[in-house]
């Protein structure tokens, strides 16, 4: 039997996966459960993992997968990247995709997870397992910098991005700043301003006018190479 906090965390992780295909950061989980520190989140996740409700995926950022809910002892893996626009149809498509099905998506150069740098438009492509992508058009960018490390996004990672110009507060987006520089950050709106938040205490939020920032996509996954 789960404690109330364990149940709340499990439900929060599943809802976030269903909504965006990306599990929440430790900071988001701490805030959602009104905990005082991330160590409390670590303890809850460890307990859920030991009881077989979730598992950690070692080769993916923010790598949590919900295996089952307390009311259902049958394992029900969540698709890595569900599309919010089609929550009912996306899981079926993912469950029937062949394990070796690969999609070539554009690889558009580097994007900053630090101060903004230019996102290069190139002709390269990246082969990605279809199971990691939901509905819609996707592209990839190489991450440069360490400002998103607390969200599990490291320098050199390949960010999988769903092309869109719409995003909600709290989502990780590719933000084009002043029409020329792009960065990967949490999106927040405050009055007539847009705040781009890092996931690293060493960095300050970046604040711009609403007309200075254009959303070019939102993060759906991360690929990482180990050498």
Instruction: Please give the distance of CA 208 from its chain centroid, rounded to a whole number.
Output: 23
Nearest one of 17, 39, 15 to 27, comparing CA atoms: 39
* Cα gap 66→17, rounded to integer Å: 9
Options 30, 82, 162, 185, the catalytic residue? 185
DSSP, collapsed to helix, strand or coil, labels residue 192 as coil
Instruction: Say whether 25 is catalytic.
Output: no
Instruction: Say whether 5 is catalytic.
Output: no
Options 25, 147, 162, 218, the catalytic residue? 147
* Cα gap 155→144, rounded to integer Å: 5
For residue 170, list its beta bridge partners: none
> Could you write out the DSSP letters of every residue in 41-105?
HHHHHHHHHHTTSEEE-TTSTT-EEE--BTTB-S--PPPSS--TT-TTTHHHHHHHS-TT-EEEE
Compute φ and ψ for 147, nearest 5 degrees. -75, -5
DSSP count for the chain of H helices, then E strands: 4, 11
Helix, strand and coil content of the chain, in percent to the nearest 5, comes to: 25, 35, 45
Q: Which residue has the tokens 């007539």?
A: 192
Active site (catalytic) residues: 147, 185
């Amino acid at each position: 039997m789960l404690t109330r906090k364990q149940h709340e965390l499990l439900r929060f992780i599943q809802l976030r996966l269903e909504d965006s295909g990306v599990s929440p950061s430790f900071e988001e989980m701490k805030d959602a459960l009104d905990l005082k520190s991330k160590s409390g989140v670590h303890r809850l996740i460890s307990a859920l993992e030991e009881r077989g409700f979730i598992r950690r995926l070692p080769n993916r950022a923010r790598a949590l997968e919900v295996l089952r809910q307390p009311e259902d002892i049958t394992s029900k893996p969540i698709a890595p990247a569900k599309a919010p626009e089609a929550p009912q149809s996306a899981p079926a498509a993912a469950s029937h995709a062949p394990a070796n099905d690969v999609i070539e998506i554009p690889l558009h150069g580097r994007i900053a997870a630090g101060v903004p740098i230019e996102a290069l438009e190139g002709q390269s492509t990246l082969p990605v397992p279809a199971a990691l992508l939901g509905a819609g058009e996707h592209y990839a960018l190489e991450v440069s910098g360490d400002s998103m490390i607390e969200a599990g996004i490291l320098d050199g990672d390949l960010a999988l991005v769903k092309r869109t110009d719409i995003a909600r507060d709290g989502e990780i987006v590719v933000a084009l700043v002043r029409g020329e520089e792009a960065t990967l950050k949490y999106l927040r709106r405050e009055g007539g301003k847009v705040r781009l938040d890092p996931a690293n205490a060493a960095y300050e939020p970046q604040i711009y006018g609403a007309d200075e920032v254009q959303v070019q996509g939102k993060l759906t996954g991360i690929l990482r190479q180990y050498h």
